[in-house]
Structure formats: C-alpha cells, structure tokens
C-alpha cells in the first residue's frame, strides 16, 4: 500500500484538535467572572501562562494597554468569537502538491537499457499498478513504483509513488476497442488447454482411468510439435538417482516440498520479494511483473511489445524457492538477454554469420542451476522428474503415465501437473507421445556440471544467449562495456564451490558424466 505521508499527518492534526473549543494559540477572550461562571484557580494560572506564549514564534506583548484592547468592556457586551483557523506553524501541504510542475517537467525519463536513444518513444503518463486489461486477465504491476535506484536529486518523497512517465512503456487501451490479440502467443501459454479444468475433473472422477481430450485456442503447427516429439534417455540414470537421493533423505516428495520449499506466499509478499531482488540486480523499473494462476510452468520470461515481462505462477511461489526462481528468470534469462543485445550476434542473421550453436541447452541448464544455487539442500528434483516423465510419456498414455510416476509423487494434483506438461500439445492423450522441451533443464545442467572447471561463467554471461561451447570463439569479438553480471556470480571462486556442492548433494558421478559427455 502506498501512503501519502502529508495526508496522514494532516489527519493526525485534525484529530488532535477535536475536543478543543478554540485554537490553542488564539488569545483567550473571556467575559468578566461571575459567581455562576467561576473557574478553578488552576485554570487561571494556566491561562496566564498561555497568554505569555508567543504566537507563531513572536514574543508575547504584555503591556496593560494592549491587554485592555484585547478584552471587551462589560458595557459593550460580548464580542463575537473570531473564526477558528489553523496556526501557520501547522499549515501542511501534501507532498504530492509541493513539487512544482516545472520540477516535474525537468525530471529525466528513465528508460530501460534496450530503449535508450533519441528514437525511443515516450511512455504515456499512466500508472502500472492497476490490474491488466489485457485478454489474459493477469494482474500487471511494474516493480518500478518504489523510489529505489535513484540519485538523491530525483528521489521522490517517502510514501509517494514515482510518476508514470518514468515507468516502462505500456500502451493505453482505447475505450470501446478490444485489445489487440497477438498472432502467435508464447508457446507455453498457447499449449495450455482451453478445457483444462473440465478434463481434470472428469479424469479425477474416473479414478484416474479417463484419457483427457484437450482443446487449444490455436493449435501449434505440426512442425513445432514434431520438433519436441522424441524423448531422450541419455541421462535417465542420473534423473532416477537424483530422485532416489531425495526420497532417501525426506521419505516423500511432499515432505521434501514442505521442508525445503516452505509455505506458499501471498501476493503482497511475492511483490516484496520481487522488488527486493530487482534492487539486488540493479534493474528496478526494467521488468514488468505479472502474477498468474494459469501457467503450466513455475514462471516464464518473455518480451512483449519491447518490454521484458515476467509472469509468476502463484501456486509455485514458495517461501524458500521464490528467490531461486528469480535468479532463474531475471538473474539468468533477463540479464543474458540484455548482454546479448550489445553483441554483434544479437540477431538471427548475426548468429548465422558467426556460426553459433543453439543457446539451449546451455541457457536453461544455467538458469536451472541458479534456481538451486544458494539453497542449503540444492536438490535437482524438479529437473530430474520432468526429464523422467517426458521420457516415459513417449511410450505411455496419460492415465498410464499418471500411475507410473506415483513411484516418486503421491499427490494427485502434482502428478497431474507433471503429466500435463509432458503431454501438452496433444488432443487425444490416449496416444503415445510427449512434448520433450522439459528435458532441456536436466540436459543443460549435467552438461554444464561436466565442464564446470573449464567454463568461464562470467564471460558466458557477458556474451549473451550463447552456448558455453562458443565462449572461446566469441571472446575476442565480445563487446564487454555495459554488460551486466548477476550478483551471485561476481565471486567466481565461491560460485564454483556452489556448483561442486550441487554435484555432491545430488550424488552425481563426475566419471559417469565424462563417459556420457567425452
């Protein structure tokens, strides 16, 4: 909640004045005392003291003639009381009115790094703290609404919001016109079935024997689905080994989640955690943040209309895991994207020109490592179970897969989510087949851990969205000024110690990795 401190103080002054019939700094005007209107002596001495008090800091005048002028004569009758007024010393102007229009006009508009330059469009004067009016129905809020990362001259008063002109550009919606619908939404959003809740209810009522029949708003082209239709078993042994480590220590996934993840956070605490992390990375005001309960993944970072947008799944925003998710999405995906825009290979043509390998699995592998990097018990459970579920979805129907992964997960709702991810894109889930994109996390993790001693991680981040295999080739061509390194990677030695700890906790064997990845 954003409070106007000037308004609050004004309310306090008005409350304190209730119960007093006159202004405490006004001269005391009294009629001559009679027996019927006599007052206690203590009050008289108190009044005498008040008459000596200066008015607004000026010395009190005490000569008898002036006192006589103030007091009316008994023959002229009682004079009407002057109107009550607030003393000048208590006149308060709310903070939002103190700043002149000239000062507001002179304030520099803070633009995110990818929109700097004379050609950058001016953002409209609009606050981003209101709910989104977009078709998705998500709550939209810019984390630039608090006054952080500002020089003293530009800092607004405590309790005040920054003006909308200093926020990232959000186009206004015209009244009476429907919002523009993008021709092709984000892949992860497009693959969410329209009839998800109905099919889930039918599946649960059938005692987990029904095969869901999903419908999609815009079915993905066959070429996209074919790209991810084959599941790999290269790291299946490592995936099973990681999950068995967790079950051996915690007994069940549910206990592991409760002990290491903590409770699910309310929206206000999610906003606070996101804002705090953006301050750590020095990118407040650069990312639009949304909260959603409609994502299939924990979070997703995309660019919409030149604005990086982070959407967080509220169902997965756990107390001890949320910052790991922010390291994944902002500390890795976003900062590598910013660095990538500085490089000559930032475009598709540039990548072809330099002969670059695909950014994945390095991109997602690095981000997934950062999700658990600073945890006391950095188990790679999620990446392992996704890999395992996708592999078996290749040869199983939805209901059979649901029963198969009960070995590792008892909670039916959690099993539903993992099976849904592995089967997304399918309409008839009685058929064999998978959506293998989720295997990229464990694949990338293990490849990076295999070569962790030889990778220059700071350079890998500075180069942008490139594979670790291209680092040495691109090093002499890199544009390094203005590149940004996440706070947790600045101490390279400590960073490497965290990676060694991840290998040990998950019982990974370096010799086995070297054999699989010579």
Q: Determine contact, residues 289/145, Cβ cutoff 8 Å.
A: no
- For residue 84, the model assigns a pLDDT of 62
Give me 460's structure tokens: 């890998």
Least confident of 38-47, 228-237, 244-253: 38-47
Q: Which residue has the higher pLDDT, 298 or 311?
A: 311
Q: Can you tell me the distance from the alpha carbon of 125 to that of 175, in angstroms, rounded to the nearest whole number? A: 16
- For residue 68, the model assigns a pLDDT of 41
Task: Compute φ and ψ for 400, nearest 5 degrees.
Answer: -70, -40
The secondary structure of residue 290, as a DSSP letter, is E
Q: Determine contact, residues 422/401, Cβ cutoff 8 Å.
A: yes
- For residue 78, the model assigns a pLDDT of 55
Least confident of 173-177, 468-472, 498-502: 173-177
- For residue 335, the model assigns a pLDDT of 96
Task: Compute φ and ψ for 307, nearest 5 degrees.
Answer: -115, 125
Give me 245's structure tokens: 């480590």
Q: Which residue has the higher pLDDT, 417 or 169?
A: 417
- For residue 275, the model assigns a pLDDT of 94
**Residue carrying structure tokens 């001559």:** 32
- For residue 312, the model assigns a pLDDT of 93
> pLDDT, tens digit, for every residue of 16-27?
444 444 443 344
**pLDDT (average), residues 189-210:** 91
Give me 23's structure tokens: 């202004």
pLDDT at 53 over 50: no
- For residue 229, the model assigns a pLDDT of 84
Out of 211, 329, 363, 417, the active site residue is: 329
Average pLDDT for the chain: 75
Residue 93 CB partners (closer than 8 Å, separation 6+): 6
pLDDT at 440 over 70: yes
C-alpha radius of gyration, the chain, whole number: 33
Listing DSSP states for 293-329 in one string gives: S--SSSEEEEEETTEEEEEEEGGG-BTTTHHHHHIII
User: In this structure, is the dihedral angle defined by the CA atoms of residues 388, 393, 398 and 401, taken in order, positive or negative?
Assistant: negative
The reply to whether 91 belongs to the active site is no
Q: Which residue has the higher pLDDT, 128 or 423?
A: 423
pLDDT at 332 over 50: yes
The partner residues of 301 in beta bridges, in order of sequence, read: 310
pTM listed for this prediction: 0.65
pLDDT above 90 as % of the chain: 55
Angle between helix 492-505 and 362-372 (nearest 10): 80
């Amino acid at each position: 909640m954003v409070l106007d401190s000037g308004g609050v103080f004004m309310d306090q002054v008005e409350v304190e004045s209730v119960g007093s019939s006159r202004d405490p700094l006004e001269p005391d005007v009294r009629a001559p005392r009679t027996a019927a209107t006599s007052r206690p002596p203590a009050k008289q001495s108190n009044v005498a003291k008040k008459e000596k008090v200066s008015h607004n800091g000026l010395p009190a005048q005490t000569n008898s003639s002036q006192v006589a002028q103030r007091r009316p004569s008994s023959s002229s009758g009682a004079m009407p009381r002057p109107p009550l007024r607030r003393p000048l010393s208590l006149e308060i102007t709310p903070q939002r009115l103190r700043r002149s229009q000239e000062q507001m006009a002179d304030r520099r508009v803070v633009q995110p790094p990818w929109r700097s330059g004379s050609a950058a469009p001016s953002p409209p004067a609009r606050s981003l703290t209101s709910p989104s009016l977009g078709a998705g129905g998500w709550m939209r809020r810019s984390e630039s609404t608090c006054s952080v990362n500002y020089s003293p001259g530009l800092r607004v008063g405590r309790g005040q919001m920054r003006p909308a002109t200093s926020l990232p550009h959000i186009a206004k919606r015209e009244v009476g016109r429907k919002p523009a619908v993008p021709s092709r939404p984000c892949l992860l959003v497009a693959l969410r079935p329209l009839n998800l809740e109905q099919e889930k209810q039918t599946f649960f009522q059938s005692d987990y024997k029904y095969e869901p029949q999903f419908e999609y708003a815009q079915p993905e082209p066959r070429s996209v689905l074919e790209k991810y239709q084959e599941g790999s078993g290269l790291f299946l042994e490592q995936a099973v080994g990681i999950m068995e480590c967790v079950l051996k220590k915690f007994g069940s996934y549910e206990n592991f989640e409760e002990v290491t993840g903590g409770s699910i956070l309310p929206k206000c605490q999610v906003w606070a955690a996101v804002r705090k992390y953006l301050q750590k990375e020095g990118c407040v005001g650069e990312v639009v943040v949304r909260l959603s309960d409609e994502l299939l993944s924990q979070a997703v970072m995309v660019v919409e209309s030149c604005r990086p947008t982070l959407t967080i799944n509220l169902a997965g925003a756990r107390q001890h895991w949320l910052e790991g998710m922010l390291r994944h999405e902002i500390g890795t995906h976003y900062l590598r994207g910013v660095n990538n825009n500085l490089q000559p290979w930032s475009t598709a043509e540039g990548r072809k020109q330099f002969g670059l390998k695909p950014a994945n699995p390095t991109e997602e592998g690095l981000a997934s490592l950062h999700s658990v990097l600073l945890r006391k018990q950095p188990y790679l459970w999620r990446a392992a179970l996704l890999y395992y579920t996708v592999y078996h979805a290749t040869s199983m129907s939805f209901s059979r897969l649901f029963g198969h992964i009960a070995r590792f997960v008892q909670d039916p709702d959690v099993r539903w989510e993992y099976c849904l991810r592995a089967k997304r894109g399918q309409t008839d889930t009685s058929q064999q087949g998978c959506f293998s994109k989720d295997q990229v996390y464990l694949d990338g993790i293990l490849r990076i851990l295999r070569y962790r001693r030889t990778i220059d991680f700071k350079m890998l981040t500075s180069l942008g969205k490139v594979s670790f295999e291209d680092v040495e080739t691109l090093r002499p061509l890199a544009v390094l000024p203005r590149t940004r390194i996440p706070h947790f990677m600045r101490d390279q030695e400590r960073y490497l110690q965290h990676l060694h700890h991840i290998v040990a906790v998950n019982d990974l064997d370096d010799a086995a990795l070297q054999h699989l990845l010579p």
